[in-house]
């Protein structure tokens, strides 16, 4: 058997983390394996190397898979490795290795532990025991790393990886990056003030903002950035807020209001990019489907979205010139929002919201989190029981949820609020950007476009029904 195995010996090397990227760990393993081969009197035919890949993580190891393929094909008789944990870190991987090597008589030599005997029952038991302890070590290491990351998150420390958009590393630690942080701050304020997500995305593009990958951000990416609790200094770990010690860009009250607006289920679910025109997605055809804008220049129109189904024109559905309809709706909206009774009703709703809720201050959540962490320390010291810890944690989490709900309830429609509080609401509406006008119209009016009457070729006011929302 020895002469056969001397013919086709190979080396397998692996290291989980190569922090310098120089492969020095696997080079040392290879040299030790070559020394072992020399002592055994065999020639090395090939070397299989997986650098910077953990066997425990479950990631595919290309060189290891190639090694198993070659063993199955009968091209390998002896495997040399530094230790069996370089080959596998899980017991199920050992079972697979045994199933492939044992029928083919492949011998495994370890630099640190001699022959890995897969031929006898005792050898198999030893191999499985070693693999079990290797897996235990990896499991225990994973628990330690998770605990360390949770502790670091509670302290507001950086957990590694890419630094999030809006911050950068300095000699003093992680700090707010002036340009990106400024865009997040103004973007949050703009959303609270009634601007659309599309409008904020265009503002960021005009300012030269790009994602961490170097590309221009779309509305989905901007929304994701604005909805990060970290903007308000809140660190999360596995979805749970664990600290408020990260450098904040906006106040917690501002973040919660922006969050309430961007997650409002009454907002349209379609892409913001579809709402380029004033009434796209807002005005409805008499059939109940939304109308969308199309066409070029002076020939732009709104038409029932049924025309987009199957790419064909459907008779009997609304199709109206954009310019005259926009002008008519803007005029009706300016007159309506300027009415004293409408203004008073909006202000009354604002006052009621203020009376029923209060702005969420950072110290509120901070105090609750400190209480939670204190309870965890008391439990670790044996001062309180596990049931007391669980019950107390649930009570604190419920209070945090109540504070967040209050912040969301006080969000309101800032576009409407800002206009009714101006000296001339009608003029403020007409002077606003299109995206803010859209927000006000969507909040206050329902627009239904019917089939045209006898005024074909001219704008028929009577074919448009505009109804105030309750």
Above pLDDT 70, what percent of the chain?
Answer: 71
> Who wins on pLDDT, 148 or 371?
371
Q: Is 43 helix (H, G, I), strand (E, B) or coil?
A: coil
- Per-residue pLDDT at 261 exceeds 90: no
Task: Count Cβ atoms within 10 A of the Cβ of residue 462 and give its class: 0-12 exposed, 13-18 middle, 19 or more buried.
Answer: exposed
Q: Are residues 429 and 304 in the same domain?
A: yes
CB 257 within 8 A of CB 192: yes
Of 120-124, 158-162, 421-425, minimum mean pLDDT range: 158-162
pLDDT at 20: 44
- At residue 251, the pLDDT reads 87
Is residue 175 in a domain?
Answer: yes
Q: Do 370 and 242 lie in a common domain?
A: no
The verdict on 287 and 323 lying in the same domain is yes
In this model, does residue 47 exceed pLDDT 60?
yes
First-to-final CA distance of the chain? 90
255 plus 289 within the same structural domain: no
The answer to whether 14 touches 84, Cβ cutoff 8 Å, is no
The stretch 285-306 carries a mean pLDDT of 85
Cα–Cα distance measured from residue 408 to residue 227, given in angstroms and rounded to the nearest whole number: 13
CATH of the domain at 62: 3.40.50.1390
Q: Are residues 225 and 177 in the same domain?
A: yes
148 is written with which tokens?
């360390």
Span 185-194, mean pLDDT? 88
Beta strands (DSSP E) in 305-444 are 319-321
Q: Does residue 308 surpass a pLDDT of 80?
A: no
Domain end, chosen from 146, 180, 213, is at 146
User: Do the domain assignments include residue 151?
Assistant: no
Q: In terms of domains, do 135 and 40 share one?
A: yes
Tokens of 28: 């040392």
- Whether the CB-CB separation of 224 and 263 falls below 8 Å is answered with no
Domain presence at residue 159: no
Winning range, highest mean pLDDT, from 18-32, 108-122, 326-340, 448-462: 326-340
Least confident of 221-230, 354-363, 394-403: 354-363
pLDDT recorded at residue 394: 73
The least confident of 164-173, 243-252, 304-313 is: 304-313
Taking alpha carbons only, the member of 88, 10, 30 closest to residue 55 is 88
Euclidean distance between CA atoms 250 and 184, whole angstroms: 8
Residue 152's pLDDT band, with cuts at 50, 70 and 90, is low
167-170 and 173-176 strand pairing: antiparallel
Write down the mean pLDDT value for the chain: 77
Determine, yes or no, domain membership for 428.
yes
Same domain, 310 and 187: no
322 and 430, same domain (yes or no): yes
Helix pair 197-206, 434-444: axis angle to 10 deg: 170
pLDDT for the residue numbered 235: 73
* 3-state SS class at 52: coil
- The yes-or-no verdict on residue 230 having pLDDT over 50 is yes
3-state secondary structure of 427: helix
DSSP letters, 95-140, are: HHHHHHHGGGT-EEEETTTEEE--SSHHHHHHHHHHHHHHHHHHHH
Asked if residue 402 belongs to a domain, the reply is no
- What pLDDT, on a 0 to 100 scale, did the predictor assign at position 360? 47
Same domain flag for 385 and 435:
no
Of the candidates 115, 146, 177, which is a domain's last residue? 146
Q: What is the pLDDT of residue 414?
A: 63
> Across residues 337-359, what is the average pLDDT?
72
Residues 188 and 333 in one domain: no
Q: Which segments of 130-252 are extended strands (E)?
A: 167-170, 173-176, 235-237, 240-243
Q: Is residue 116 part of a domain?
A: yes
Determine contact, residues 272/201, Cβ cutoff 8 Å.
Answer: yes
- Strand partners of residue 236: 241
- How many CB atoms are closer than 10 A to CB 292? 21
Element (H, E) at 279: none
Range of the domain at 377: 361-396
Structure confidence at residue 2 as a pLDDT band (50, 70, 90): very low
CB atoms closer than 10 angstroms to residue 406? 17
CATH code of the domain containing 210? 3.90.1750.20
Burial class (CB within 10 angstroms; exposed 0-12, middle 13-18, buried 19+) of 429: buried
pLDDT band at 18 (very low <50, low <70, confident <90, very high): very low
Residues 2, 76: Cα–Cα separation, whole Å: 13
- Nearest Cα to 247, choosing from 172, 192, 343, 194? 172
Task: Establish if 101 belongs to a structural domain.
Answer: yes
Name the domain count of the chain.
Answer: 4
Burial class (CB in 10 A: 0-12, 13-18, 19+), 169: exposed
Cα–Cα distances in angstroms (integers) from residue 322 to residues 4, 289, 302, 369, 445, in the given order: 85, 17, 6, 53, 18
Q: What is residue 77's three-state secondary structure?
A: coil
Same domain, 117 and 14: yes
pLDDT at residue 244 tops 90:
no
Within-domain flag for 267: no
Domain shared by 40 and 127, yes or no: yes
* pLDDT of 448 over the 90 cut: yes
The mean per-residue pLDDT over the stretch 25-50 comes to: 90
Closest alpha carbon to 317 in 278, 282, 281, 290 = 290
Q: Tell me, what's the pLDDT at 350?
A: 65
How sure is the predictor about 296, in pLDDT bands with cuts at 50, 70 and 90?
confident
């Amino acid at each position: 058997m020895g002469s056969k195995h001397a013919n086709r010996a190979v080396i397998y090397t692996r290291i989980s983390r190569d922090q310098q990227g120089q492969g020095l760990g696997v080079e040392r393993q290879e040299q030790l394996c070559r020394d072992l081969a020399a002592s055994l009197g065999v020639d090395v035919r090939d070397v299989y190397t997986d650098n910077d890949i953990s066997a425990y993580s479950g990631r595919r190891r290309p060189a290891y898979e190639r090694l198993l393929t070659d063993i199955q094909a009968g091209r390998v008789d002896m495997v040399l490795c530094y230790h069996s944990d370089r080959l596998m870190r899980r017991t199920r991987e050992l079972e697979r290795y045994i199933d492939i090597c044992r029928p083919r008589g492949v011998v495994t030599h370890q630099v640190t532990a001699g022959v890995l005997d897969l031929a006898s029952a005792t050898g198999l038991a030893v191999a499985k025991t070693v693999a079990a302890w290797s897996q235990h070590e990896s499991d225990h290491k994973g628990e330690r790393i998770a605990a360390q990351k949770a502790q670091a998150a509670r302290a507001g420390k950086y957990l590694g990886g890419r630094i999030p958009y809006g911050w950068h590393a300095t000699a003093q630690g992680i700090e707010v990056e002036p340009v990106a942080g400024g865009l997040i701050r103004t973007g949050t304020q703009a959303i609270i003030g009634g601007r659309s997500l599309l409008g904020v995305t265009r503002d960021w593009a005009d300012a030269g903002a790009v994602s961490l990958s170097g590309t221009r951000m779309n509305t989905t990416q901007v929304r994701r950035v604005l909805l990060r609790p970290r903007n308000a200094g809140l660190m999360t770990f596995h979805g749970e807020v664990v600290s408020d010690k990260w450098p904040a860009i906006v106040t917690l009250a501002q973040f919660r209001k922006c969050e309430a607006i961007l997650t409002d289920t009454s907002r349209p679910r379609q892409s913001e990019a579809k709402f380029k025109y004033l009434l796209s997605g807002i005005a409805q055809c008499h059939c109940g489907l939304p109308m969308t804008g199309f066409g070029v220049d002076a020939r732009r129109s709104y038409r029932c979205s049924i025309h987009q189904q199957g790419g064909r024109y459907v008779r009997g559905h609304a199709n109206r010139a954009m310019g005259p309809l926009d002008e008519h709706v803007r005029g009706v909206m300016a007159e309506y929002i300027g009415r004293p009774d409408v203004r008073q009703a909006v202000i009354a709703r604002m006052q009621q919201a203020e009376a029923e809720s209060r702005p969420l201050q950072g110290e509120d959540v901070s105090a609750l989190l400190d209480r939670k962490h204190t309870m965890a320390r008391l439990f670790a010291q044996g001062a309180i029981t596990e049931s007391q810890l669980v019950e107390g944690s649930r009570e604190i989490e419920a209070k945090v949820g109540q504070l967040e709900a209050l912040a969301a309830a006080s969000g309101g429609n800032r576009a409407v609020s800002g206009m009714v509080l101006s000296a001339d609401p009608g003029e403020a509406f007409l002077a606003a950007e299109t995206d803010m006008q859209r927000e006000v119209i969507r909040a206050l009016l329902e627009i239904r476009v019917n089939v045209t009457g006898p005024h074909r070729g001219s704008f028929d006011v009577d074919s448009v029904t505009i109804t105030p929302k309750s």
